[in-house]
Amino acid sequence: TRPDVHPLPPGTHLLFAQSGRIEHVPLEGYDMKKDDAKAVLHLPEKVIIGVAYDCVEKMVYWTEITSPSISRANIQGGEPVAVIRSDLDSPEGIAIDHLGRTMFWTDSVKDHIEVSSLDGSQRRVIIDSDLVNPRAIITDPPNGNLYWCDWNRDAPKIETSYMDGSNRRVLVKDDLGLPNGLTYDSQSSLLCWADAGTHKLECMHPDRRDRRKVMEGIQYPFGITSYGKNIYYTDWKRDAVVAVDRYAATESDEFQPLKRTKLYGITTAYAQCPSGQNYCAVN
């Protein structure tokens, strides 16, 4: 084991990318145990953007843009293994379907969305039109839905489709600026996004289209993840992880790592997989 990296202790954690590192902050209830924050992985020459977590095999997945690749490592201190190394230009968002055992990612130069098995095999482009700056992507495995955002300054939007790319629809296109971050909470079926242009944090049930503001005046969000009543986002202005209580609509805490540099993707590493069956697994 390396002295500069630490295996993830049991429990629920936030994982986020900063300066070629994937850092973790343990969650105690909804509180960030900031003093126990440590690096899970340190790849000093890399720029890590997207981070996703597979709760089944307890693996962290990430996208990297300097020698564009998608890699994974066991969070108990496993070595990083590249699973996709070719035909990537600028991979950004990454999402895991822990039931279907697949991963999805956006590429902001190729302007498309791809899917593959978790080992990188069976790779396929599922969305390749009408994308300008695709960034965050997330899955809703029990319902087989995919959500992503495109921060195209001329026409930003949040879209959805089934996991094979079919049934594609625009969910939100009005009053958006730079929707950088997107998260889905399976418990409440709530889709939430953070916008660095309008400086708002908003949520909606994708079926009900009941869009509502959670918070205004947030600074410069990049990544976002949800855990119960809380939303956590990375902020490019403060170089920090900010916790927001969805119900109280207030900022409840902030974690600013010692290193002052941009934070990118963030995800929740659950102690256990959320319950739920996949529509495919039923057959």
**Could you list the residues that contact other proteins (CB under 8 A)?**
1-4, 19-20, 42, 44-45, 47, 49, 65-66, 90, 92, 108-109, 133, 151, 153, 178, 180, 196, 258-262, 264
φ, ψ at 47 (rounded to 5°): -115, 105
Of 25 and 49, the one with the shorter C-beta distance to other proteins is 49
Distance CA 161, CA 147 (A): 7
Of 188 and 256, the one with the shorter C-beta distance to other proteins is 256
Of 45 and 174, the one with the shorter C-beta distance to other proteins is 45
| Residue in the block written with tokens 């909606």 | 204
φ, ψ at 72 (rounded to 5°): -145, 160
Rounded to a whole number of angstroms, the minimum distance from the CB of residue 181 to other proteins is: 12
Of 77 and 276, the one with the shorter C-beta distance to other proteins is 77
**DSSP H or E segment with residue 282:** helix 279-282
Rounded to a whole number of angstroms, the minimum distance from the CB of residue 191 to other proteins is: 21
Rounded to a whole number of angstroms, the minimum distance from the CB of residue 42 to other proteins is: 7
Query: Which token pair is 71?
Result: 């890699």
φ, ψ at 126 (rounded to 5°): -110, -25
Rounded to a whole number of angstroms, the minimum distance from the CB of residue 51 to other proteins is: 13
Query: Which token pair is 191?
Result: 């889709």
Of 154 and 208, the one with the shorter C-beta distance to other proteins is 154
Rounded to a whole number of angstroms, the minimum distance from the CB of residue 3 to other proteins is: 4
Q: For residue 7, which of 78, 111, 77, 79 has the smallest C-alpha distance?
A: 77
* Cβ–Cβ < 8 Å for 213, 219: no
